[in-house]
Structure 1
Amino acid sequence: MAALVQVILLIANAFCTFFATLALMRFFMQVSRAPFDNPIGGFVLHLTDWMVLPLRRIVPPVRGFDTASLLAAYLLQAVLMALVIGLSSLHELASPATALRIASGALFVLVRLSVYLYVVLLVAQAMLSWFNPHAPLNRLVGQMTAPVLRPLRRIVPPISGIDLTPLIAILLAQIILIFV
């Protein structure tokens, strides 16, 4: 029985994390005004439409931000946390304190997932800039990381043509992960 619970949790974790990451990617692409007219953008749109489009009927955008994508990612993480708690202890799921634990836990997981997503984007940008700076994917990754790197570039300009801000941003992301 314990093995079956582990298999269910593994599959649920993989599903929820994958789709929550895609929903976050959709949100961050919209925020950074990154183009969706590329294979990655199309992939993200096609795989997230099933959860985002119905939520858009209920949740309006706030200040131009695609809150439906953000809410979809949050709800997936909340469902995952409820499943984990429910499979470990059914009587605990009915507790009011558990609802707060699920709500706050899903928020923290979403913040961590967002930080991890940006670390992956920063590493991808560094790799693309070193090995294939003219790759079509470079435009997408560059636009998505620009809101994070632009303020850092004002403080730390390129040194002899080498941009250290992705390294600084990754270091700052690691610091954020320590506290979250």
Structure 2
Amino acid sequence: MEATPLTQGGLFLIQFIAGLVIFTLMLRFLMRATHVDWRHPVVHFVAKVTNPLCAPVNKVLTIRGRWDWSAIITAMLLQALVVIALGWLTGRNFGVGLIAISSITEVANQLLDMAFWLIIINVIISWISPGYNPNTAIFVQMTQPILAPFQKLVPPIGGFDLSPIIAILAIKLTQIVVVGGIAQYGQMLVTLG
């Protein structure tokens, strides 16, 4: 099937809207996992927007503790629908294996990209506005649990916290080696299929 401007516009629109929704679901997951202050307006907004999407999964899989698996599962289901829609718009028929792999890798990449950018934003904020600021405290709350294992591994040297660099390296290596390896396997399925 030849790509027409209408098809390309439809592909862009589907990917944009789905990407925005998946981003919000990953934000919900990270906010719960990192115990962000629930009184923050951003947390309220994310909860209100994503609650209707996660409600069906929450009926089957109740939230326990800090891990909101309903956000991850909802994001993967949405990504699966996107892959099916993209296949339909381009005239291709993707197998269940490829749809599952695409869903896993896209959600994992979104989550890792979000962690990467949260660390970058937190570092920049710490340079520009050191100390407590209620408007930017959410970034500290979200990145501190991510950085904590790396801070144990590499303590501050000469007053400089190098843990963000190590965390960024770990995130990017995970994306390249682990997620990239899974995506490569998915590409192999397309070639064989």
TM-score by length of 2: 0.83
Aligned counterpart, 2:186: none
For residue 67 of structure 2, give the secondary structure of its aligned residue in structure 1: coil
The number of equivalent residue pairs is: 175
Alignment partners' CA distance in 2, 1:62 and 1:85? 36
1:145 correspondence with 2:143: yes
Match of 1:4 among 3, 6, 28: 6
For residue 136 of structure 1, give the secondary structure of its aligned residue in structure 2: coil
Runs of 4+ that moved beyond 2 A: 58-65
Match of 2:15 among 9, 13, 16: 13
1:104 correspondence with 2:87: no
TM-score by length of 1: 0.88
Alignment partners' CA distance in 1, 2:128 and 2:59? 43
Closer, same or farther in 2 for the Cα pair 1:47/1:126, shift >3 Å? same
Cα pair 1:129 1:138 within 8 Å, conserved: no
Alignment partners' CA distance in 1, 2:117 and 2:66? 26
- The runs of 5 or more residues in structure 2 that have no matched partner are 180-193
Q: CA deviation at 1:53?
A: 2.3
Cα pair 2:72 2:107 within 8 Å, conserved: no
Closer, same or farther in 2 for the Cα pair 1:64/1:172, shift >3 Å? closer
Alignment partners' CA distance in 2, 1:8 and 1:109? 19
Aligned counterpart, 1:79: 81
Alignment of 1:3-152 (within 5 A): 3-61=5-63, 65-90=67-92, 92-93=93-94, 98-133=95-130, 134-152=132-150
- The runs of 5 or more residues in structure 1 that have no matched partner are none
Q: CA deviation at 1:60?
A: 2.3
Percent identity, aligned pairs only, is 26
CA offsets per residue over residues 122-161 of structure 1, 9 Å max, x none?
0111011111232224432222222321111112111222
Q: CA deviation at 1:62?
A: 5.5
Alignment partners' CA distance in 2, 1:37 and 1:13? 31
Q: RMSD over aligned Cα, in angstroms? A: 1.8
